[in-house]
Structure formats: structure tokens, C-alpha cells
């Protein structure tokens, strides 16, 4: 992968920046705690009625905060999830967004949406445009949020850059369910020395002893031979970005074969946990082990499983589902599935 734009300054006024903490102070949507179907799924949450049923937005990625210093305890139980604009004009009209979810409330989970945007300066005026990516995976590492951009590689955002907007009449954001935006800070282009170009479908962070890693993989159907790849990239703890060579290129430190219809993967203590879908209405699979030697646990996840992440300092994984009317965010006990047949 090649760093095509280094995260640097933003056109936003510092007075407008509120960061993730600013969003947590204004959570305007209320979900509900609920039971979740599937042997591997523990109880979780679902969205409010608008988000649980909409066909304009489909949830995809999930991450919690990983701090390069190893101190992930910030007093808040926060998840970030991603959504993409669904349908023929979804990318063009809606782009993509994230949800900031606070799990701390006992009565009900609360959350708010943040639109992902790209910013431009034209004739001295600042403009915001959509970020038209599938956003199938998220990885929150220190100050940066990595977003999977399919064949386009990765988009990079700084969570401190979240802004609260004053919406004006005629704004394309008006009435679209958000008062917050997160401008893009950088990007990594997908490159391949040989073979088909990698599709970055999902992401997660692996906590290491000396080196942390960005885990990435690609979705592929059964008939797409050689298109079910799993990769690990070293992360630079000082910059919070991918470790790169002198030319600004990041090279995977591990590449392996996954399984068809993968939707998410994360690594805990050397063990890979992979989610795979089986079509709407059919329960999903959990695969456990290592690339090329993954053990399948058929039908133990709810229908439509997507990205998966680990929660630092615990044995819990978190995942989510995408289908309208069957949208859940739920935990998985990682230890219960290691070595299980």
C-alpha cells in the first residue's frame, strides 16, 4: 500500500472541532438492549426504529479504541460503527457515516451519527463532499480511524477533527440525521506487486507485545479463487499510522488464505476470529484458528454478520449485522471458541 496523502492540517476551524468527546456529549438517538439469536452471540443492542429498519443505510464496520501506549481505559465504553449509503445512488447521494455508541448507560444505549466528508478549498471557500466508500471495516488506533475503501485501499481520519456544523438551508447534510462531520485526513492506495489488486473489505487492530498490527481482509464468493486474502500490517506506535518504507509504502508482514464470504476478522493472542455470511435469513459462521487452517463453526452467528473487533483487556469480541429489521450489535466470548470443535 502507498501513502498518497499524509494526514496533516485540516481546513476546519479549531473552534468547530469537538472530537469524539463532543459527540458523546450530544448523543441524540436511543437504542435498546436486546437478546440476539445465535449460539455464539451474547446479548447486545439494536438501533432506534429509524436505523433498525432503513434501507437507505446499511451497517458494516465496528471498532473500539486501541491506544498505542497500551492504556485503553478512558472511562467510556465506546464503540464506533460504520454505515454506507445503500442502493443505486447510495454512494453518490449519501456517502458513508459512522455511529458513536456509548454502552455505559444501564437503561439504554445511546448514540449519534457522524458523516464522513472530504474537504476542499475552492476560490477561498471551504466545501464538504461525501466520502463514497463501502466502509466495510473500521480500525480506531490512537488518534486515527482507518476506514476500508474496497479497491481504493484505506481512508484515514483523525478522531479529534470531528466538527459540529451549523446547517444552512440547502445544505446536502440538512435533514440527513447528523450535525457532526469528520473530514478525511489521508489515504493509502491499494497496490499489488503481482496478482489481482487487494480489496480492503474489513479491518481490525491486533494488540501485540512489541508491535501492533492492522488486520485486513477481503470479501469474495466461493467462485472467486484466490480472492479471500487475509493480511497483517505493522503499525507505528509513534505516529499511529502504518509502518512504511522510505518510499511511503506499507508492506504486509503476513499474508494468508481465508474463506469465502468473509465479512470481518480480528486476531487475539495469535488466534484469528473470522465472520462469514450465508445470505439474508441464514445464520452466519464463525471461523477460528489461523489463515489456511480455520475451523468452521457453522450457523452460530445471527444472519448478516459483518465486521468484528476485540475489546482491549477483555475476552470479548464485538460484531454487528446488516439486514433491516435484524440489526444487532453484540458480544462474542472469544475463549469459548478457541480449540472448540
Instruction: Give per-residue pLDDT as tens, 114-156.
Output: 999 998 766 666 778 889 899 999 999 999 999 999 989 999 9
Distances (CA, A) of 328 to 9, 22, 217, 299: 36, 25, 22, 16
Measured distance CA(47)–CA(57) in Å, rounded: 12
Binned at pLDDT 50, 70 and 90, residue 307 comes out as very high
Nearest C-alpha neighbor of 97 from the set 128, 142, 65: 128
CB atoms within 10 A of CB 13: 9
User: Residue 224: which pLDDT band, with cuts at 50, 70 and 90?
Assistant: low
Reading the block at residue 225, the C-alpha cell is 479463487
Is-contact 180 80, C-beta < 8 A? no
| pLDDT above 90: residue 326 | yes
What is the model's pTM?
Answer: 0.93
**Residue length, the chain?**
341
Residue in 8, 10, 16, 24 with CA at minimum distance from that of residue 163: 16
The pLDDT, as a whole number, for residue 101 is 97
Which fold is adopted by the domain 2-337? Tachylectin-2; Chain A (2.115.10)
Report the DSSP beta bridge partners of residue 316: 333
Partners of 182 in beta bridges: 116
* pLDDT at 16 > cutoff 90: no
202, 307 contact by CB (below 8 A): yes
Let me know: does 154 contact 144? Beta carbons within 8 Å.
no
CA 235 and chain centroid, separation? 17
> How sure is the predictor about 166, in pLDDT bands with cuts at 50, 70 and 90?
confident
pLDDT per position as a tens digit, 225-282? 558 999 999 999 999 999 998 888 899 999 999 999 999 999 999 999 999 999 999 9
Annotated domain spans of the chain: 2-337
What is the predicted pLDDT for the residue at 175? Answer: 44
* Residue-level pLDDT at 170: 41
Cα–Cα dist 245/68, whole Å: 20
Distances (CA, A) of 120 to 8, 38, 126, 127: 14, 45, 6, 5
Cα separation values, 147 from 36, 135, 140, 202, 263, Å: 26, 6, 9, 8, 14
195-204 average pLDDT score? 90
Comparing CA positions, the residue from 242, 291, 236 lying closest to residue 262 is 291
Q: What is the pLDDT of residues 31-67, one digit of tens each?
A: 999 999 999 999 999 999 999 999 999 999 999 999 8
Amino acid at each position: 500500500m502507498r501513502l498518497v496523502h499524509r494526514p496533516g492540517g485540516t481546513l476546519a476551524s479549531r473552534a468547530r472541532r469537538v472530537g469524539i468527546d463532543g459527540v458523546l456529549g450530544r448523543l441524540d438517538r436511543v437504542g435498546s438492549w436486546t437478546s440476539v439469536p445465535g449460539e455464539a452471540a451474547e446479548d447486545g443492542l439494536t438501533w432506534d426504529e429509524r436505523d433498525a429498519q432503513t434501507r437507505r443505510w446499511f451497517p458494516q464496520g465496528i471498532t473500539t479504541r486501541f491506544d498505542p501506549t497500551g492504556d485503553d481505559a478512558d472511562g467510556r465504553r465506546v464503540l464506533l460503527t460504520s454505515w454506507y449509503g445503500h442502493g443505486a445512488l447510495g454512494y453518490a447521494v449519501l456517502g458513508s457515516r459512522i455511529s458513536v455508541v456509548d454502552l455505559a448507560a444501564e437503561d439504554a444505549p445511546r448514540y449519534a451519527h457522524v458523516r464522513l466528508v472530504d474537504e476542499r478549498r475552492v476560490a477561498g471557500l471551504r466545501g464538504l463532499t461525501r466520502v463514497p466508500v463501502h466502509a466495510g471495516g473500521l480500525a480506531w488506533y490512537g488518534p486515527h480511524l482507518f476506514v476500508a475503501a474496497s479497491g481504493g485501499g484505506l481512508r484515514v481520519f483523525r478522531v479529534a477533527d470531528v466538527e459540529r456544523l451549523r446547517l444552512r438551508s440547502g445544505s446536502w447534510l440538512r435533514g440527513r440525521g447528523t450535525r457532526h462531520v469528520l473530514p478525511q485526513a489521508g489515504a493509502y492506495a491499494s497496490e499489488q506487486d503481482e496478482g489481482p489488486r487487494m480489496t480492503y473489505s474489513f479491518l481490525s487492530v491486533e494488540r501485540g507485545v512489541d508491535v501492533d498490527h492492522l488486520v485486513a481482509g477481503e470479501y469474495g464468493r466461493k467462485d472467486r479463487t484466490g480472492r479471500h486474502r487475509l493480511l497483517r500490517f505493522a503499525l507505528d506506535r509513534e505516529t499511529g499510522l502504518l509502518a512504511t518504507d522510505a518510499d511511503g509504502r506499507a508492506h504486509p508482514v503476513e499474508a494468508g488464505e481465508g474463506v469465502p464470504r468473509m465479512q470481518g476478522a480480528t486476531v487475539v493472542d495469535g488466534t484469528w476470529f473470522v465472520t462469514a455470511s450465508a445470505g439474508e435469513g441464514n445464520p452466519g459462521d464463525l471461523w477460528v484458528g489461523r489463515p489456511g487452517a480455520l475451523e468452521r463453526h457453522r450457523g452460530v452467528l445471527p444472519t448478516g454478520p459483518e465486521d468484528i473487533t476485540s475489546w482491549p483487556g477483555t475476552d470479548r469480541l464485538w460484531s454487528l449485522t446488516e439486514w433491516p429489521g435484524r440489526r444487532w450489535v453484540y458480544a462474542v466470548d472469544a475463549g469459548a471458541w478457541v480449540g472448540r470443535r
